[in-house]
């Protein structure tokens, strides 16, 4: 499980940072005409940085799926919602309402429940039955 967290943690941070850079670049591009927006955004290096980070996040996520259960990975990366909201508040100076923070809190509780269930599962599973290579 440490291997899984070692891959998912940077994936979550890369995803949140990528979203911040993507948001910055799209706000800088402005406008509502689709082609005009795309034209201005494509020339923005911030867009490419954000896109690169999102690709890194996806590749790390895909790597985790090569050994970890989907039913563990998906709920675990859901903590990215909390990280994204925190990054939006801190880096983009977005006003985050109490209601949104409450939603983030509920999601975080769900992630903790999933993580705890995986730890219990790995403790109960005999060494010979582990298929994820984490011994």
Domain ranges, ordered by start, for the chain? 2-129
In this prediction, residue 14 carries a pLDDT of 97
CB 71 within 8 A of CB 118: no
Q: What is the mean pLDDT of the chain?
A: 86
In this prediction, residue 37 carries a pLDDT of 72
Q: Model confidence over 16-57: pLDDT tens digits?
A: 999 999 999 888 877 667 777 777 777 889 989 999 999 999
In this prediction, residue 120 carries a pLDDT of 63
pLDDT of 115 above 90 = no
**How far is the C-alpha of 27 from the C-alpha of 40, rounded, in Å?**
11
**How far is the C-alpha of 94 from the C-alpha of 92, rounded, in Å?**
5
pLDDT, average across residues 68-82: 91
pLDDT, average across residues 94-103: 96
Report yes or no on whether pTM surpasses 0.85: no
Q: Which of 23-32, 94-103, 122-131 has the lowest mean pLDDT?
A: 122-131
Q: What DSSP assignment string belongs to 5-32?
A: HHHHHHHHHHHHHHHHHHHHHHHHH--S
């Amino acid at each position: 499980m440490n291997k899984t967290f070692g891959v998912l943690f940077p994936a979550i941070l890369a995803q949140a940072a990528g979203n911040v850079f993507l948001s910055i670049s799209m706000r800088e591009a402005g406008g509502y005409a689709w082609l005009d927006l795309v034209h201005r955004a494509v020339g923005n290096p911030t867009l490419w940085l954000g896109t690169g980070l999102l690709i890194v996040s996806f590749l790390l996520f895909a790597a985790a799926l090569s050994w970890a259960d989907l039913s563990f990975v998906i709920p675990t990366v859901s903590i990215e919602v909390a990280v994204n909201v925190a990054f939006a508040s801190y880096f983009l100076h977005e006003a985050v309402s109490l209601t949104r923070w409450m939603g983030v809190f509920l999601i975080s509780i769900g992630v903790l429940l999933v993580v705890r269930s995986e730890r219990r599962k790995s403790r109960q599973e005999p060494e010979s039955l582990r298929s994820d290579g984490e011994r």
